[in-house]
Chains A and B, each alone.
Chain A
Amino acid sequence: MTHIESIYSLKGKRVWVAGHRGMVGSALLRRLAQVDCTLLTATREDLDLTRQSEVEAWMKRTKPQAVFLAAAKVGGIAANDRWPAQFLYDNLTIAANVIHASGTTDVEKLLFLGSSCIYPKLAPQPIEEGALLTGPLEPTNQWYAIAKIAGLKLCQAYRKEYGCDFIAAMPTNLYGPEDDFDLATSHVVPALMRKAHEAKLRGDRQLVVWGSGTPRREFLHVDDAAEALVHLMTHYSGASHVNVGSGSDLTVLDLAKLIAAVVGFTGEIVIEPSKPDGTPRKLLDTSKLASLGWYPKIELEKGLASTYAWFVDRFEGATGHALRA
């Protein structure tokens, strides 16, 4: 319907999704299954992305034409804090190996996936792409952020020096299937969903939300994110990275209410103001993505409902005990 011209077609191409077992990578596989292309994947056992020779040999053998670089060592604040060397080294080498090998083989296009943590801690909200490197990072996950910044700079450098059509996308907080529901490491959506689910099963009267409940956060369903990444792959070519977000935010308390409704938890939602809040607002400016003709299709409430259905199905017979194991 829309008069939006594609500048690169994935049709008939050999497309490598690096990191296909991750949350974004698996969503990309679902999305790319609708495209007439040959999907290439490698398991961690077949290919260690931190080993340059392995990456080069694999790419020479499989000859990908388009690459989605969604592989990364990921984790929350605690994990970053505990293993800074691993977060920095693994993510640097994955980016360097795949981008360099792509630049020296017949890869026509590459999309590097970053994260909104690349932006300065005190960046003005909503965060524009131009806010990159204008101030200090959030110290807790700077290791991961520095590696992602290096990755997007590599894309720019290979574009500038070799004319490679490498682009970079920075997604906001994602949620959806294959998310991490382990309470020790999970982010806010799966954490609240699991807590609400268990509270419902136990018949608790209260669901506790950490902090004041007032921080505002932005969430995007991972299937929307995958669609946006494919859209960027086919509709964007440029040195600047592109934010991928939903364009709107809500308070953590409102999120908790939505999740409680989706889960069917009918008790009271209480805040615990003694716990830390984090930054008061985090919202990406998605104007650039909008100017490329993409907007999210999955409303938060519906996305949460389908995510909850996936969660119950995956961890079924979703008793609280099974989940706590």
Chain B
Amino acid sequence: MSESAILVTGGAGYVGAHACKALHGAGYTPVVFDNLSTGHKTFVRWGPLVLGDIRDADALRHTIRTYKVEAVLHFAASAYVGESVADPQKYYENNVVGSLSLLGAMLETGCRRIVFSSSCSIYGEPESVPIGESAPQNPVNPYGASKAMVERILCDYQKSHEIAAIALRYFNASGADPETELGELRDPETHLIPRAMMAIQGYIHDFAVFGTDYPTPDGTSIRDYIHVSDLASAHVAALRRLIAGGASGALNLGTGRGWSVKQVLDAIAAETGKSLPISHAPRREGDPPVLVADAALSRRELGFAPRLSDLKTIVQTAWAWHLRAHPRLAASRAGASPARGAG
């Protein structure tokens, strides 16, 4: 047990596990707290796994004390946008009540620093792009609303409890660990890049693009794709800033540049050498034409500069992971869930 143990809730998930690898590389010991409801035990490789539920404050308290946790990276959350509309109770329970449980355990144990995994979905359909951190928050689904609520809660706790918190609002997390140790592995899979790759691999047969009549150059929606390993580095930078006594706040994590669904699919075709059977489907409610970050603030505040977030590298690393991971399980059960243009 290192003296610089960092609790990583949801550390067996896609972004959380990449953050654990980055923490390990930076000399921290990631202590993963995960109930493995969507996470993978095999993703926990850089520190201990504590199997527990985020709503179990006693378990969190015990973990923080046992490992002498210095700070928390909080990823644990339910993260299917569509499911959040159908089952808001689950999203407010896991994401809001779960975060309150974590904060309670932190207050009781004197652990005062937290980096929170937020999302660009808190902005909803933006009035203008690129989206700055001070843009209005109008989430259009319970997932985004739950993230916005937790950000608000963190603001209040900063004032009354001396909690130091940085919320990182990701745009489209994508790509995979360049050493192919980690990557996207969901069941069901709903994200554009993995679904396109699974379709090429023959695991799914209902790949569709939602909306081809957007007011964009090629008619498909435009998103800001950020490589998951860049996200992980940003978390380490945010953590260091909090440990050094730096200011709390909320920061976008994006590149500031958008790619259309068609451009992404072209990049995938170029990488894999295979063309993709595409069916076109109507737009979905709450999917705006363009979501692109104003990425200036995180650059300035965290010194954050994406290194792997060019489309080619994202697609390359994701494809290498897909060839290795063979998500047959996801394929066999993913039939019902449509691809998302937005993450």
A4 at the interface (CB under 8 A from B): yes
B286 at the interface (CB under 8 A from A): no
Q: Is the CB of B65 within 8 A of A248?
A: yes
Q: Is the CB of B1 within 8 A of A126?
A: yes
Closest chain A CB from B267 CB (angstroms): 37
The residue among A126, A248, A286, A290 with the most chain B CB atoms within 10 A of its own CB is A290
Residues of A within 8 A of B62 (CB): 247, 295-296
Residues of B within 8 A of A126 (CB): 1
Closest chain A CB from B300 CB (angstroms): 39
Residue ID in chain B nearest A296 by CB atoms = B62
Within 8 A of A (CB), among B18-56: 35-37, 44, 48-53, 55-56
Residue ID in chain A nearest B38 by CB atoms = A3
B107 at the interface (CB under 8 A from A): no
Q: Is the CB of B53 within 8 A of A291?
A: no
Instruction: Given A248-B66, A286-B66, answer yes or no on A4-B51 (Cβ-Cβ < 8 Å).
Output: yes
Residue ID in chain B nearest A2 by CB atoms = B53
Residues of A within 8 A of B59 (CB): 2, 295
Residues of B within 8 A of A248 (CB): 65-66
Q: Is the CB of A1 within 8 A of B49?
A: no
Interface residues of A (CB under 8 A from B): 1-4, 126, 247-248, 285-287, 290-293, 295-297
Within 8 A of A (CB), among B61-84: 62-63, 65-66
B58 at the interface (CB under 8 A from A): yes
17 contacts between A and B (CB under 8 A): A1-B55, A2-B51, A2-B52, A4-B51, A247-B62, A247-B65, A248-B65, A248-B66, A286-B66, A287-B48, A290-B51, A290-B63, A290-B66, A291-B49, A291-B50, A295-B52, A295-B59
Q: Is the CB of A2 within 8 A of B35?
A: yes
Q: Is the CB of A290 within 8 A of B49?
A: yes
Complex formed: what's the CA distance from A285 to B1 in Å?
Answer: 9
The residue among B58, B63, B66 with the most chain A CB atoms within 10 A of its own CB is B66
Q: How many residues of B contact A (CB 8 A)?
A: 19
Instruction: Given A3-B37, A295-B58, answer yes or no on A247-B66 (Cβ-Cβ < 8 Å).
Output: yes
- Residue of B37, B51, B56, B66 near A291 (CB, 8 A) is B51
Complex formed: what's the CA distance from A296 to B56 in Å?
Answer: 13
Instruction: Given A247-B62, A248-B66, answer yes or no on A290-B50 (Cβ-Cβ < 8 Å).
Output: yes
The residue among B35, B52, B63 with the most chain A CB atoms within 10 A of its own CB is B52
Residues of B within 8 A of A293 (CB): 51-52
Closest chain B CB from A140 CB (angstroms): 28
Complex formed: what's the CA distance from A2 to B8 in Å?
Answer: 17
Complex formed: what's the CA distance from A155 to B51 in Å?
Answer: 25
Residues of A within 8 A of B53 (CB): 1-3
Residues of B within 8 A of A290 (CB): 48-52, 63, 66
Complex formed: what's the CA distance from A285 to B2 in Å?
Answer: 13
4 A-B pairs with least C-beta separation: A293-B51, A247-B66, A287-B48, A2-B53
Residue ID in chain B nearest A287 by CB atoms = B48
Residues of B within 8 A of A247 (CB): 62, 65-66
Complex formed: what's the CA distance from A4 to B62 in Å?
Answer: 17
Complex formed: what's the CA distance from A213 to B53 in Å?
Answer: 38
Residues of B within 8 A of A1 (CB): 53, 55-56
Q: Is the CB of A295 within 8 A of B63?
A: yes
Complex formed: what's the CA distance from A268 to B51 in Å?
Answer: 43
Instruction: Given A248-B65, A287-B48, answer yes or no on A297-B56 (Cβ-Cβ < 8 Å).
Output: no
The residue among A292, A295, A296 with the most chain B CB atoms within 10 A of its own CB is A295
Q: Is the CB of A2 within 8 A of B56?
A: yes
Told that A2-B59, A3-B36, A4-B52 touch, could you supply 9 new A-B pairs with CB distance under 8 A?
A: A247-B62, A285-B1, A287-B48, A290-B50, A290-B51, A291-B48, A292-B51, A293-B52, A295-B58
Closest chain A CB from B111 CB (angstroms): 15
Residues of B within 8 A of A297 (CB): 58
The residue among B44, B48, B50, B56 with the most chain A CB atoms within 10 A of its own CB is B50
Complex formed: what's the CA distance from A1 to B1 in Å?
Answer: 28
Residues of B within 8 A of A292 (CB): 51
Complex formed: what's the CA distance from A297 to B57 in Å?
Answer: 12
Residues of B within 8 A of A291 (CB): 44, 48-51
Closest chain A CB from B203 CB (angstroms): 26
Residues of A within 8 A of B50 (CB): 287, 290-291, 295
Closest chain A CB from B47 CB (angstroms): 9
Closest chain B CB from A227 CB (angstroms): 13
Complex formed: what's the CA distance from A1 to B93 in Å?
Answer: 11
Residue ID in chain A nearest B1 by CB atoms = A126
Residue ID in chain A nearest B44 by CB atoms = A291
Complex formed: what's the CA distance from A4 to B52 in Å?
Answer: 8
Residue ID in chain B nearest A286 by CB atoms = B66
Complex formed: what's the CA distance from A153 to B66 in Å?
Answer: 29
